[in-house]
Chain A
Amino acid sequence: MAVEKTKSILVVGGGISGITTAVEAAEVGYEVTLIEKNPYLGGRVNQLNKYFPKLCPPNCGLEINFRRIKNNPRVKFYTMAEVEKISGTEGDFDVTIRLEPRFVNENCTACNACVEACLIERPNEFNFGMDKTKAIYLPHDFSFPLRYVIDEKYCTKEKCNKCVEVCTYNAIDLNMKPQSLSLKVGSIVWATGWNPYDATKIDNLGFGTYQNVITNMMMERLASQNGPTKGKILRPSDGKEPSRIAFVQCAGSRDENHLPYCSYVCCLASMKQATYIREQYPEAEIFVFYIDIRAPARAERVYMKALKDEKIKFIKGKVAKIEEDPTTRDLTVTAEDALTLQKIHEKADMVVLATGMAPITRESKIPAGVSYDTDGFILLNTGVAGMYAAGCSLKPIDVYSSVQTATAAALKAIQSASGGVRR
């Protein structure tokens, strides 16, 4: 080797893709630093009730990965961390990481005494605002690391001090300050992931105005055991059990006014969610309004099964209008059935918008000169030697495909970091 290279790798984003890249690289002997913006690892997968291909709950895929991280001394991970600055070149990057204060240290045993003492509430963004947590909270039941966190925006700190008083483990430190961390790495993998498209921007579908219009990710939370309704699907306005549910496919997708592309997973996600409803409410009527159903590869089977289900009605026509009865909060969705040439007005207790995936990099670019496509996804060839991308920062894909891109990124990152055989 001509030049001594730093044999370490930085992975940005601790979702399923970032975790996969980190453990894959670490398990073949590389030093990996994994950073995550949220106070927990696992990313969006945590928020799902079940996920494809096996329709297992998130812990079935994440738990083993968390175990791999815990058992491997080569993986260091930081939550509430973001990249601030990068300089250098492939094999020799200098990275500055900013660590936001958690206000809770390693002493935390998750005993919950602080939460019981805390008087301040905040909307729970993990459940898309459908319930509240205290200002000190555990992000979710399955949080890794299993440690509480204080939301600085809501906590009044020393003025209140109640949590500090009840904590018998000295785990709460209200004076924690943001920290800076400098790293030398050979390569960087961006696994920055996605946000659900902001449905309030779709002004004809009433999201944000009509309480019973929810997004598909909110439906995942409603169906989850650790969700706001403990897994019982109830409509938000009055907690009623829904008997007629409409799914609006391509809500803000394949639409030049919103996300111009197809997010690939939403058709299948709606069919999956139809099964959640069918399990809880066998008599419920389900309507799926679509432009065309995109059920790639093995998903075809799921679609065929849904087609045979007499309680699931597929209507070829995009919903472009939703109205609410202000007294009952019931909804009427309107679409043109392109097969019968009739405008139909279907009543529904609840409407699920199948919103797509917007890459995080659509809104906020990463502090490096990587290239993006017109939709804000990072290009597979990032344009910067030693930098790679994985998962939904590349394109909208499912968990299974994300893991494939993550493994690929791990291999490329190893080659950059080792300065050895490559490409």
Chain B
Amino acid sequence: MAEQVISPDLGFVKDVIASGGESLKKCFQCATCSVVCNLAPDDKPFPRKEMIYAQWGLKDRLISNPDVWLCHQCSDCTAYCPRGAKPGEVLGAVRKLAIEHYSFPSFLGKAVGKPQFLVLLFAIPVVVLFIVLALLGNLNLTAIPRGEDGGIVYAKFMPEIYIEVIYIAVSAFVVFSFVMGIRRYWKDMSVDKKGQILAAGSILGTIASIIGEILAHKRFEKCELTKERKISHFLVFYSFIGLAITAAWGVFYLYVLHRESPYPLTDPMKWLGNAGALGLLIGITLVVIYRSRNKEKAGIGSYFDWLLIVVIAAIAVTGMAAQCLRLAEVAVLAYPVYFLHLVFVFFLFAYAPYSKMAHMVYRTVAMVFTKHAEKGVEIVTKAG
């Protein structure tokens, strides 16, 4: 056998341990995990090899490894692990470090993963929105103009145009950041595959089939211990889609039909919005319930996991509460709650490339790459 020089990155080992993979060193490589995992393929299955890469600090074999993302953390591996090494949690930690590694700018990637920066990260939207309110002279909540019927109108507290400018700017930054991350990630994966990827056919077909798979939540179905997670993730996922459509619908009302908010609850747009909010609330509650129920066997998750869960839950709660308080005309609470809602939405969007939210991008890219590379390998073998 050819001699191999292993150069461990001890800092990486420490990072994995600090990111929720503290059980890492208990692994004794029995490979139970790779077998009980229904998502792991026959060829180079995970997560056993990832466990030893992580123990040995082989950062370069993990960070750009698409297998890390093919794992959906069903936690069947963790439940059956004879040593309590929790491969599911370790891979979760590796994914967090992968997000951090590919994030642009990287200081934000580091900050989102660390609790000590949490206040600072929240301070940014708070300060930005506060300045806008101060400039508008809307800090005195009792002086904010009401609608024609005397009801609370959030657009008079924080006019849509300011929200749009801020959030469109943020979105542009997020897209740019993701593009930078994906480019580097794709390049690293291609290098590992030694260019075989180039032999593959149309990538669009692959992307379409992967998106179809994601929409149907096919892979979640293969989980055993946490099979109910399909329901909770499904709810959260489609609620977000529903809410995104609602937002676009609102823009259409405002700028195309020139209808001012608030819209009556009888409006179909409000139906969709409320259904989305309710779905989000139920979905994220189920996430918390399922995680707590399975914590003995699957592990409770890391700071990184819970940050996203809490932010999503906060968006759902403050969104629903803002609407209820507006209708109940409790101005003293309604405006601050709406303000908080905007802060949490900002947090979710602006930090998406650095938080666990980025999983939707990196996992999709990894799934596309793997499927694409498989095709590439196939073509190469046939040609040879």
Residues of A160-183 at the interface with B, using a CB-CB cut-off of 8 Å, are: none
Cβ contacts A210-232/B at 8 Å (1 or 0 each): 00000000000000000000000
Q: Please name the 8 residue pairs, one residue from A and one from B, whose CB atoms are nearest each other, closest first.
A: A255-B82, A320-B35, A336-B34, A336-B31, A318-B30, A343-B42, A320-B32, A291-B30
B residues less than 8 Å from A256 (CB atoms): 82-84
Would you call B30 and A321 a contact (CB within 8 A)?
no
Report A-chain residues with C-beta under 8 Å of the C-beta of B185: none
CA distance A320 to B82 in the complex (A): 11
Q: List the A side residues contacting B375 at CB < 8 Å.
A: none
Encode B128-155 as 1/0 by CB contact (under 8 A) with A: 0000000000000000000000000000
CB distance from B66 to the nearest CB of A (A): 15
A336 and B35 contact, Cβ closer than 8 Å, known pairs A291-B29, A343-B41: yes
**A341 and B49 in contact (CB under 8 A), knowing A319-B35, A321-B35?**
yes
B45 an interface residue at 8 Å Cβ cutoff? yes
The answer to whether A257 touches B80 (Cβ under 8 A) is yes
Closest approach, in angstroms, between the C-beta of A323 and any C-beta of chain B? Answer: 11
- Identify 28 residue pairs between A and B in the complex whose beta-carbon atoms are under 8 Å apart, listed by A's number: A204-B36, A204-B80, A254-B30, A254-B82, A255-B83, A256-B82, A291-B28, A291-B29, A291-B31, A316-B31, A317-B30, A317-B31, A318-B35, A320-B31, A320-B36, A320-B80, A321-B35, A334-B35, A335-B31, A336-B31, A336-B34, A336-B35, A336-B45, A336-B48, A342-B42, A342-B45, A343-B35, A343-B43
Interface bits A303-320 vs B (CB < 8 Å: 1, else 0): 000000000000011111
| B194 adjacent to chain A (CB < 8 Å) | no
- On A, residues with C-beta under 8 Å from B are 204, 250, 254-258, 291, 316-321, 334-336, 338, 341-345
We find that the number of chain B residues with CB closer than 8 angstroms to chain A is 21
Is B44 an interface position by the 8 A CB rule?
yes
Q: A256-B84, A257-B80 are in contact. List 11 more A-B contacts (CB 8 A).
A: A204-B80, A257-B82, A291-B31, A317-B34, A319-B35, A320-B32, A320-B80, A321-B35, A335-B35, A338-B31, A341-B49
Compute how far the CA of A336 lies from the CA of B77 in the bound complex, rounded to whole angstroms.
Answer: 13
- The chain A residue with its CB closest to the CB of B77 is A320
Most buried by B among A250, A291, A320, A344: A320
B40 at the interface (CB under 8 A from A): yes
**Partner of B32 from A316, A318, A344, A345 at Cβ < 8 Å:** A318
Contacts of A345 in B (CB 8 A): 42
> Which B residues between 323 and 341 are near A, CB-CB below 8 angstroms?
none
Interface readout for B69-84 with A: 1 if CB under 8 Å, 0 if not?
Answer: 0000000000010111
Provide the residues of chain A in CB contact with B34, threshold 8 Å.
317, 336, 343
Chain B residues, Cβ within 8 Å of A317:
30-31, 34-35
Looking at the assembled complex, report how far the CB atom of A342 sits from the nearest CB atom of chain B, in whole angstroms.
6
- Bound CA span A255–B84, Å: 9
Greatest chain B CB density within 10 A among A258, A334, A341 is at A341
Q: How far is the CB of A290 from chain B (nearest CB, A)?
A: 9
Q: How far is the CA of A318 from the CA of B42 in the complex (A)?
A: 15
Q: Chain A residues with Cβ under 8 A from B33's Cβ?
A: 320
Closest to A344 in B: B42
What residues of chain B lie closer than 8 Å to A255, measured between beta carbons?
Answer: 82-83
Measured between alpha carbons, how far is A321 from B34 in the docked complex, in Å?
10
Residues from 10 to 64 in B contacting A, C-beta threshold 8 Å: 28-36, 40-45, 48-49
Select from chain B the residue with minimum beta-carbon distance to A317.
Answer: B31
Chain A nearest Cβ from B286, distance in angstroms:
26
Give the CA-CA distance A320 to B44 in the complex, in Å.
Answer: 16
The answer for the CA separation of A150 and B223 in the assembled complex, in Å, is 50
* Measured CA separation A335–B34 after assembly (Å): 8
Which residues from A are CB-within-8-Å of B41? 343
A204-B82 Cα distance, complex, nearest whole Å: 13
- Residues of A near B36 (CB, < 8 A) are 204, 320-321
Q: Which chain B residue has the least Cβ–Cβ distance from A315? A: B31
> Whole-angstrom distance between the alpha carbons of A254 and B28 in the complex?
10
